[in-house]
Structure 1
Amino acid sequence: MLQRILRPTLLAAAGRRVLSPLWPAVAAPFSTSTAVPDLAPAPATTTSTATTTATPPPPSASPPSSKAETLRLLPLLRAQPQHYITIHIHSFPFLVTLGDTITLPFRLKNIIPGQTLRLTHASILGSRDYTLKGSPWIDEKLFSCRAAVVEETREPMRVKKKTKRRQRKIKTVKSKHPYTVLRIKELEVLGGEEEA
Protein backbone atom coordinates (compact mmCIF):
# COMPACT_ATOMS: atom_id res chain seq x y z
CA MET A 1 0.00 0.00 0.00
CA LEU A 2 2.87 2.32 0.75
CA GLN A 3 4.27 1.74 -2.74
CA ARG A 4 1.09 3.07 -4.36
CA ILE A 5 1.27 6.35 -2.43
CA LEU A 6 4.94 7.31 -2.97
CA ARG A 7 6.22 8.60 -6.28
CA PRO A 8 8.39 6.26 -8.38
CA THR A 9 11.27 8.75 -8.28
CA LEU A 10 11.31 8.70 -4.48
CA LEU A 11 11.27 4.91 -4.47
CA ALA A 12 14.05 4.77 -7.06
CA ALA A 13 16.13 7.06 -4.88
CA ALA A 14 15.65 4.62 -2.02
CA GLY A 15 16.94 1.77 -4.19
CA ARG A 16 13.57 0.13 -4.94
CA ARG A 17 12.10 -0.30 -8.39
CA VAL A 18 8.32 -0.15 -8.45
CA LEU A 19 5.73 0.43 -11.15
CA SER A 20 3.09 2.67 -9.63
CA PRO A 21 -0.26 3.10 -11.40
CA LEU A 22 -0.75 6.57 -9.91
CA TRP A 23 2.17 8.29 -11.67
CA PRO A 24 2.94 8.11 -15.40
CA ALA A 25 6.27 6.72 -16.55
CA VAL A 26 7.01 9.66 -18.85
CA ALA A 27 8.38 12.98 -17.73
CA ALA A 28 6.18 16.06 -17.66
CA PRO A 29 6.35 18.27 -20.81
CA PHE A 30 7.68 21.25 -18.84
CA SER A 31 10.48 19.22 -17.26
CA THR A 32 14.01 19.89 -18.52
CA SER A 33 15.43 16.54 -17.50
CA THR A 34 14.97 13.60 -19.84
CA ALA A 35 15.95 10.92 -17.37
CA VAL A 36 13.09 8.54 -16.65
CA PRO A 37 13.58 6.09 -13.79
CA ASP A 38 14.08 2.51 -14.93
CA LEU A 39 10.89 0.58 -14.17
CA ALA A 40 12.17 -2.87 -15.12
CA PRO A 41 11.85 -5.60 -12.51
CA ALA A 42 14.69 -5.91 -10.07
CA PRO A 43 17.22 -8.71 -10.69
CA ALA A 44 16.67 -11.90 -8.73
CA THR A 45 18.46 -12.15 -5.41
CA THR A 46 19.53 -15.16 -3.39
CA THR A 47 16.50 -14.84 -1.13
CA SER A 48 14.08 -15.15 -4.03
CA THR A 49 15.79 -18.29 -5.34
CA ALA A 50 15.41 -19.91 -1.94
CA THR A 51 11.69 -19.36 -1.99
CA THR A 52 11.26 -20.62 -5.55
CA THR A 53 13.10 -23.89 -4.93
CA ALA A 54 10.55 -25.00 -2.34
CA THR A 55 7.63 -26.61 -4.16
CA PRO A 56 4.22 -26.87 -2.52
CA PRO A 57 2.67 -30.30 -2.14
CA PRO A 58 0.46 -31.34 -5.04
CA PRO A 59 -3.20 -30.39 -4.53
CA SER A 60 -4.35 -33.96 -5.09
CA ALA A 61 -2.50 -35.14 -1.97
CA SER A 62 -4.47 -33.14 0.63
CA PRO A 63 -8.15 -33.94 -0.18
CA PRO A 64 -7.90 -37.75 0.31
CA SER A 65 -6.31 -37.27 3.72
CA SER A 66 -9.04 -34.81 4.78
CA LYS A 67 -11.72 -37.19 3.46
CA ALA A 68 -10.15 -40.07 5.34
CA GLU A 69 -9.94 -37.88 8.44
CA THR A 70 -13.64 -37.01 8.07
CA LEU A 71 -14.63 -40.66 7.76
CA ARG A 72 -12.46 -41.52 10.76
CA LEU A 73 -14.11 -38.88 12.99
CA LEU A 74 -17.65 -39.45 11.72
CA PRO A 75 -18.49 -42.18 14.31
CA LEU A 76 -17.59 -39.72 17.09
CA LEU A 77 -20.08 -37.21 15.68
CA ARG A 78 -22.71 -39.93 15.26
CA ALA A 79 -22.31 -41.00 18.92
CA GLN A 80 -23.33 -37.55 20.21
CA PRO A 81 -26.87 -37.31 21.65
CA GLN A 82 -28.23 -34.32 19.70
CA HIS A 83 -27.30 -32.85 16.33
CA TYR A 84 -27.89 -29.57 14.53
CA ILE A 85 -27.64 -28.79 10.84
CA THR A 86 -27.58 -25.68 8.67
CA ILE A 87 -29.73 -26.44 5.65
CA HIS A 88 -30.12 -24.22 2.61
CA ILE A 89 -33.45 -23.88 0.81
CA HIS A 90 -33.29 -21.56 -2.22
CA SER A 91 -30.07 -20.01 -0.83
CA PHE A 92 -31.69 -19.22 2.55
CA PRO A 93 -29.76 -20.82 5.46
CA PHE A 94 -31.71 -22.30 8.38
CA LEU A 95 -30.05 -23.63 11.54
CA VAL A 96 -32.32 -26.43 12.77
CA THR A 97 -32.43 -29.48 14.98
CA LEU A 98 -34.89 -32.37 15.27
CA GLY A 99 -38.47 -31.19 15.81
CA ASP A 100 -37.93 -27.56 14.76
CA THR A 101 -40.53 -25.69 12.72
CA ILE A 102 -39.33 -23.55 9.82
CA THR A 103 -41.44 -20.81 8.27
CA LEU A 104 -40.04 -20.22 4.80
CA PRO A 105 -40.37 -16.62 3.56
CA PHE A 106 -41.78 -17.91 0.26
CA ARG A 107 -44.10 -20.58 -1.08
CA LEU A 108 -42.63 -23.85 -2.31
CA LYS A 109 -44.24 -24.90 -5.57
CA ASN A 110 -45.83 -28.28 -6.34
CA ILE A 111 -46.10 -29.51 -2.75
CA ILE A 112 -49.06 -30.48 -0.60
CA PRO A 113 -49.38 -30.50 3.20
CA GLY A 114 -48.27 -33.80 4.69
CA GLN A 115 -45.65 -34.41 2.01
CA THR A 116 -42.12 -35.36 3.15
CA LEU A 117 -39.13 -33.55 1.65
CA ARG A 118 -35.53 -34.75 1.73
CA LEU A 119 -33.17 -31.83 2.32
CA THR A 120 -29.79 -32.40 0.67
CA HIS A 121 -28.04 -29.01 0.74
CA ALA A 122 -26.35 -28.54 4.10
CA SER A 123 -23.25 -26.54 4.93
CA ILE A 124 -22.74 -27.40 8.63
CA LEU A 125 -23.57 -30.54 10.60
CA GLY A 126 -22.61 -30.73 14.23
CA SER A 127 -23.22 -31.48 17.86
CA ARG A 128 -22.02 -30.01 21.14
CA ASP A 129 -18.47 -31.36 20.68
CA TYR A 130 -17.96 -31.87 16.93
CA THR A 131 -18.72 -29.88 13.78
CA LEU A 132 -18.52 -30.97 10.16
CA LYS A 133 -18.25 -28.11 7.66
CA GLY A 134 -18.78 -28.49 3.94
CA SER A 135 -17.04 -26.61 1.19
CA PRO A 136 -19.59 -25.44 0.16
CA TRP A 137 -21.86 -28.45 0.85
CA ILE A 138 -21.59 -31.59 2.94
CA ASP A 139 -21.86 -34.81 0.97
CA GLU A 140 -25.50 -35.92 1.12
CA LYS A 141 -24.42 -39.52 1.80
CA LEU A 142 -23.14 -38.49 5.23
CA PHE A 143 -26.48 -37.31 6.66
CA SER A 144 -30.22 -37.73 6.34
CA CYS A 145 -32.51 -34.76 6.93
CA ARG A 146 -36.24 -34.96 6.18
CA ALA A 147 -38.92 -32.36 6.70
CA ALA A 148 -42.70 -32.65 6.60
CA VAL A 149 -44.81 -29.91 5.03
CA VAL A 150 -47.09 -28.68 7.81
CA GLU A 151 -49.08 -26.04 5.96
CA GLU A 152 -49.11 -23.33 3.33
CA THR A 153 -50.21 -20.13 5.00
CA ARG A 154 -50.19 -16.40 4.38
CA GLU A 155 -48.98 -13.54 6.48
CA PRO A 156 -51.51 -11.08 7.96
CA MET A 157 -52.64 -8.38 5.59
CA ARG A 158 -50.27 -5.42 5.57
CA VAL A 159 -51.44 -2.02 4.40
CA LYS A 160 -48.92 0.68 3.60
CA LYS A 161 -49.81 4.19 2.57
CA LYS A 162 -47.41 5.75 0.10
CA THR A 163 -47.25 9.49 -0.40
CA LYS A 164 -45.06 11.96 -2.26
CA ARG A 165 -44.06 15.41 -1.15
CA ARG A 166 -46.33 18.25 -2.17
CA GLN A 167 -48.88 15.79 -3.56
CA ARG A 168 -52.31 15.16 -2.12
CA LYS A 169 -52.55 11.63 -3.49
CA ILE A 170 -52.22 8.71 -1.09
CA LYS A 171 -51.62 5.31 -2.60
CA THR A 172 -52.61 2.29 -0.52
CA VAL A 173 -50.54 -0.86 -1.10
CA LYS A 174 -51.78 -4.15 0.32
CA SER A 175 -49.61 -7.24 0.67
CA LYS A 176 -50.29 -10.73 1.96
CA HIS A 177 -47.37 -12.97 1.05
CA PRO A 178 -47.64 -16.78 1.05
CA TYR A 179 -45.44 -18.85 3.36
CA THR A 180 -44.61 -22.55 3.64
CA VAL A 181 -44.19 -24.13 7.07
CA LEU A 182 -41.93 -27.20 7.47
CA ARG A 183 -41.19 -29.39 10.48
CA ILE A 184 -37.92 -31.34 10.76
CA LYS A 185 -38.91 -34.92 11.45
CA GLU A 186 -35.62 -36.74 10.84
CA LEU A 187 -32.01 -35.70 11.39
CA GLU A 188 -29.48 -38.48 11.38
CA VAL A 189 -25.74 -38.79 10.81
CA LEU A 190 -25.07 -41.71 8.51
CA GLY A 191 -21.99 -43.87 8.59
CA GLY A 192 -20.63 -43.08 5.16
CA GLU A 193 -19.83 -46.78 4.61
CA GLU A 194 -21.20 -46.52 1.07
CA GLU A 195 -18.17 -44.46 0.05
CA ALA A 196 -15.51 -46.62 1.71
Structure 2
Amino acid sequence: MSRSLLRSVLELRTPITRLPPPFLLPIRAATAAPTPARTLTTTTQNIDSAAPPTSPAPAQTSIPPTTAPPSNPNSNSAPPAPARREATAASDASVKELLPLLRAQPGHYITAHIHGFPYLVTPGDQVRLPFRMPGVLPGDVLRLDRASVLGSRDYMLKGAPWVDDSLFECRAVVLGTESEPLRVKVKTKRRNRRAQRVTSKHKYTVLRISELKILEP
Protein backbone atom coordinates (compact mmCIF):
# COMPACT_ATOMS: atom_id res chain seq x y z
CA MET A 1 0.00 0.00 0.00
CA SER A 2 1.40 3.37 -0.87
CA ARG A 3 2.15 5.89 1.80
CA SER A 4 -0.28 8.47 0.51
CA LEU A 5 -3.15 6.03 0.71
CA LEU A 6 -2.17 5.02 4.26
CA ARG A 7 -1.99 8.64 5.30
CA SER A 8 -5.50 9.39 3.96
CA VAL A 9 -6.95 6.40 5.81
CA LEU A 10 -5.43 7.52 9.08
CA GLU A 11 -6.80 11.04 8.65
CA LEU A 12 -10.33 9.66 8.17
CA ARG A 13 -10.13 7.61 11.36
CA THR A 14 -9.02 10.54 13.62
CA PRO A 15 -11.83 12.94 14.70
CA ILE A 16 -11.71 16.45 13.32
CA THR A 17 -10.87 18.84 16.16
CA ARG A 18 -9.95 21.84 14.09
CA LEU A 19 -12.59 24.52 13.62
CA PRO A 20 -13.57 25.68 10.16
CA PRO A 21 -12.36 29.08 8.99
CA PRO A 22 -14.08 32.07 10.63
CA PHE A 23 -15.91 33.18 7.48
CA LEU A 24 -17.84 29.84 7.58
CA LEU A 25 -19.03 30.22 11.21
CA PRO A 26 -22.58 31.56 11.88
CA ILE A 27 -22.91 35.25 12.77
CA ARG A 28 -23.67 35.80 16.47
CA ALA A 29 -24.48 39.02 18.29
CA ALA A 30 -21.65 40.03 20.57
CA THR A 31 -23.16 40.37 24.00
CA ALA A 32 -20.89 41.76 26.62
CA ALA A 33 -21.13 40.14 30.00
CA PRO A 34 -22.29 42.54 32.71
CA THR A 35 -19.39 43.67 34.87
CA PRO A 36 -19.99 43.66 38.59
CA ALA A 37 -20.42 47.15 40.06
CA ARG A 38 -17.62 48.42 42.17
CA THR A 39 -18.51 49.35 45.72
CA LEU A 40 -16.65 52.06 47.57
CA THR A 41 -15.96 51.40 51.19
CA THR A 42 -15.28 54.42 53.38
CA THR A 43 -13.70 54.13 56.76
CA THR A 44 -15.05 56.46 59.40
CA GLN A 45 -13.56 57.17 62.75
CA ASN A 46 -15.67 57.00 65.87
CA ILE A 47 -15.37 60.42 67.50
CA ASP A 48 -16.38 60.68 71.12
CA SER A 49 -18.90 63.47 71.50
CA ALA A 50 -18.00 64.03 75.13
CA ALA A 51 -14.36 64.84 74.46
CA PRO A 52 -13.79 68.31 72.99
CA PRO A 53 -12.00 68.48 69.64
CA THR A 54 -8.32 69.03 69.99
CA SER A 55 -6.68 71.35 67.54
CA PRO A 56 -3.00 70.93 66.69
CA ALA A 57 -0.75 73.25 68.61
CA PRO A 58 0.83 75.94 66.46
CA ALA A 59 4.50 75.47 65.79
CA GLN A 60 6.65 77.81 67.82
CA THR A 61 9.49 79.41 65.92
CA SER A 62 12.23 81.16 67.81
CA ILE A 63 14.08 83.98 66.03
CA PRO A 64 17.73 84.10 67.08
CA PRO A 65 19.01 87.52 68.12
CA THR A 66 20.82 89.36 65.38
CA THR A 67 24.48 89.79 66.11
CA ALA A 68 26.92 91.92 64.17
CA PRO A 69 29.48 89.89 62.20
CA PRO A 70 33.00 89.93 63.57
CA SER A 71 35.20 92.54 62.06
CA ASN A 72 37.81 91.18 59.68
CA PRO A 73 40.91 93.36 59.45
CA ASN A 74 41.75 91.90 56.02
CA SER A 75 38.38 92.76 54.48
CA ASN A 76 38.00 95.76 52.17
CA SER A 77 34.70 96.89 53.67
CA ALA A 78 34.35 100.61 54.36
CA PRO A 79 34.69 101.66 58.03
CA PRO A 80 31.58 102.88 59.83
CA ALA A 81 30.66 106.54 59.75
CA PRO A 82 31.93 107.48 63.26
CA ALA A 83 35.37 105.95 62.62
CA ARG A 84 35.59 107.70 59.25
CA ARG A 85 34.68 111.03 60.82
CA GLU A 86 37.31 110.56 63.53
CA ALA A 87 39.95 109.70 60.89
CA THR A 88 38.98 112.74 58.82
CA ALA A 89 39.14 115.00 61.86
CA ALA A 90 42.54 113.60 62.83
CA SER A 91 43.91 114.12 59.30
CA ASP A 92 42.57 117.68 59.21
CA ALA A 93 44.19 118.39 62.55
CA SER A 94 47.53 117.00 61.38
CA VAL A 95 47.36 118.99 58.12
CA LYS A 96 46.63 122.23 60.02
CA GLU A 97 49.51 121.53 62.38
CA LEU A 98 52.19 120.44 59.89
CA LEU A 99 51.32 122.43 56.75
CA PRO A 100 52.85 125.67 58.13
CA LEU A 101 56.11 123.80 58.67
CA LEU A 102 56.01 122.58 55.06
CA ARG A 103 55.40 126.14 53.86
CA ALA A 104 58.32 127.49 55.86
CA GLN A 105 60.86 125.15 54.29
CA PRO A 106 62.32 125.97 50.84
CA GLY A 107 62.55 123.65 47.87
CA HIS A 108 58.92 122.85 47.25
CA TYR A 109 58.04 120.19 44.70
CA ILE A 110 54.84 118.67 43.39
CA THR A 111 53.82 115.53 41.50
CA ALA A 112 51.31 116.88 39.00
CA HIS A 113 49.21 114.65 36.76
CA ILE A 114 48.64 115.91 33.21
CA HIS A 115 46.35 113.75 31.07
CA GLY A 116 47.06 110.77 33.35
CA PHE A 117 50.90 111.14 33.23
CA PRO A 118 52.65 112.01 36.54
CA TYR A 119 55.44 114.63 36.52
CA LEU A 120 57.56 115.58 39.56
CA VAL A 121 58.38 119.23 39.01
CA THR A 122 59.66 122.31 40.84
CA PRO A 123 59.24 126.00 39.91
CA GLY A 124 61.21 126.83 36.75
CA ASP A 125 61.24 123.30 35.28
CA GLN A 126 60.29 122.60 31.68
CA VAL A 127 58.05 119.66 30.89
CA ARG A 128 57.98 118.10 27.44
CA LEU A 129 54.71 116.24 27.10
CA PRO A 130 54.87 113.16 24.82
CA PHE A 131 51.78 114.31 22.94
CA ARG A 132 50.23 117.43 21.50
CA MET A 133 47.88 118.98 24.04
CA PRO A 134 44.64 119.93 22.30
CA GLY A 135 43.09 123.38 22.63
CA VAL A 136 46.15 125.32 23.82
CA LEU A 137 48.25 128.04 22.21
CA PRO A 138 51.72 129.36 23.02
CA GLY A 139 51.51 131.82 25.93
CA ASP A 140 48.49 130.25 27.63
CA VAL A 141 48.66 129.84 31.40
CA LEU A 142 47.38 126.55 32.77
CA ARG A 143 46.57 125.75 36.37
CA LEU A 144 47.54 122.23 37.39
CA ASP A 145 44.99 121.31 40.05
CA ARG A 146 45.51 117.54 40.17
CA ALA A 147 48.47 116.42 42.28
CA SER A 148 49.20 113.30 44.29
CA VAL A 149 52.24 114.50 46.29
CA LEU A 150 53.15 117.91 47.71
CA GLY A 151 56.38 118.26 49.66
CA SER A 152 59.44 120.15 50.77
CA ARG A 153 62.86 119.17 52.11
CA ASP A 154 61.62 117.36 55.27
CA TYR A 155 57.84 117.13 54.88
CA MET A 156 55.57 115.51 52.35
CA LEU A 157 51.79 115.57 51.96
CA LYS A 158 50.28 112.62 50.08
CA GLY A 159 46.77 112.63 48.68
CA ALA A 160 44.24 109.82 48.73
CA PRO A 161 44.37 109.79 45.76
CA TRP A 162 44.64 113.58 45.19
CA VAL A 163 45.73 116.47 47.36
CA ASP A 164 43.06 119.06 48.03
CA ASP A 165 43.47 121.76 45.38
CA SER A 166 42.72 124.48 47.95
CA LEU A 167 46.08 123.79 49.66
CA PHE A 168 48.33 124.64 46.71
CA GLU A 169 48.48 126.67 43.53
CA CYS A 170 50.55 125.47 40.57
CA ARG A 171 50.63 127.27 37.22
CA ALA A 172 52.35 126.39 33.93
CA VAL A 173 52.94 128.45 30.78
CA VAL A 174 52.66 126.88 27.33
CA LEU A 175 55.92 127.58 25.48
CA GLY A 176 54.87 125.97 22.20
CA THR A 177 54.83 122.73 20.27
CA GLU A 178 57.82 120.84 18.91
CA SER A 179 58.15 118.06 16.38
CA GLU A 180 60.88 115.50 15.97
CA PRO A 181 62.72 114.95 12.65
CA LEU A 182 60.96 112.82 10.09
CA ARG A 183 61.68 109.14 10.65
CA VAL A 184 61.40 106.56 7.89
CA LYS A 185 61.19 102.88 8.69
CA VAL A 186 61.26 100.14 6.06
CA LYS A 187 59.04 97.19 6.95
CA THR A 188 59.49 93.90 5.12
CA LYS A 189 58.05 90.41 5.39
CA ARG A 190 59.57 87.03 4.76
CA ARG A 191 59.17 85.54 1.29
CA ASN A 192 57.80 88.85 0.08
CA ARG A 193 59.74 91.21 -2.20
CA ARG A 194 57.51 94.16 -1.40
CA ALA A 195 58.90 96.68 1.13
CA GLN A 196 56.71 99.20 2.93
CA ARG A 197 58.05 102.62 3.97
CA VAL A 198 56.42 104.00 7.17
CA THR A 199 57.03 107.64 8.12
CA SER A 200 56.43 109.18 11.54
CA LYS A 201 56.86 112.68 12.94
CA HIS A 202 55.61 113.05 16.53
CA LYS A 203 54.67 116.41 17.97
CA TYR A 204 55.17 117.50 21.58
CA THR A 205 53.91 120.26 23.85
CA VAL A 206 56.41 122.11 26.04
CA LEU A 207 55.34 123.62 29.38
CA ARG A 208 57.25 125.65 31.96
CA ILE A 209 56.29 125.60 35.63
CA SER A 210 56.02 129.29 36.45
CA GLU A 211 54.52 129.28 39.95
CA LEU A 212 54.09 126.88 42.91
CA LYS A 213 52.59 128.18 46.15
CA ILE A 214 51.57 126.40 49.34
CA LEU A 215 48.40 128.03 50.66
CA GLU A 216 47.11 128.19 54.19
CA PRO A 217 44.61 125.49 55.20
| TM-score higher than 0.5 | yes
Q: Which runs of 5+ in 2 are unaligned?
A: 1-68, 74-78
Structure-1 separation of matches of 2:171 and 2:125 = 11
Partner of 1:75: 100
Cα offsets for 1:90-113 (capped at 9, x unmatched)? 100001001000000111111110
Letter in 1 for 2:196: K
Provide the residue aligned with 1:15 in structure 2.
none
User: Which amino acid in the other structure matches residue 88 of structure 1?
Assistant: H
Q: What's the CA shift for 1:124?
A: 0.4
Counterpart Cα distance in 2 of 1:185 and 1:100:
8
Q: Which residue of 2 aligns with 1:121?
A: 146
Larger radius of gyration: 2
2:96 counterpart of 1:85: no
Q: Distance in 1 between matches of 2:131 and 2:194?
A: 32
State how 1:39-118 maps to structure 2 within 5 Å.
52=70, 58-118=83-143
Q: CA deviation at 1:58?
A: 2.3
Letter in 1 for 2:199: K
1:145 maps to which of 170, 176, 183: 170
2:157 equivalent in structure 1: 132
| Deviation >3 Å, runs of 4+ | 51-57
Which residue is equivalent to 2:212?
Answer: 187
Q: CA deviation at 1:54?
A: 10
Deviation per residue, 1:82-132 (Å, 9 max, x gap)? 111100001000010010000001111111101110000000011110000
The letter for the 1-side match of 2:97 is R
Which among 134, 158, 169 is matched to residue 194 of structure 2? 169
Give distance in 1, aligned partners of 2:102 and 2:86: 25
**TM-score normalised by the chain length of structure 1:** 0.68
Q: Could you list the per-position Cα deviations for residues 13-64 of structure 1 after superposition, in whole angstroms to 9, with x for gaps in the alignment?
A: xxxxxxxxxxxxxxxxxxxxxxxxxxxxxxxxxxxxxx94999872222112
**For structure 1, which runs of at least 5 residues remain unmatched after alignment?**
1-50
Structure 2 Cα separation of the partners of residues 129 and 85 of structure 1: 14
Identity percentage over the alignment? 56
Instruction: Compute the RMSD of aligned alpha carbons.
Output: 2.2
Aligned residue type for 1:81? P
Separation in 2, partners of 1:100, 1:136: 24
CA apart distance, 1:167: 1.1
Q: Which amino acid aligns with 2:151?
A: G
Q: Secondary structure at the match of 1:73?
A: helix
**Map of 2:9 onto structure 1:** none
SS of residue matched to 2:161: coil
Task: Tell me the matched-pair count.
Answer: 143
- One-letter amino acid matched to 2:183: R
The worse-fitting range, judged by mean Cα deviation, of 62-71 and 180-189 is 62-71
Tell me the SS of whatever aligns to 1:61. helix
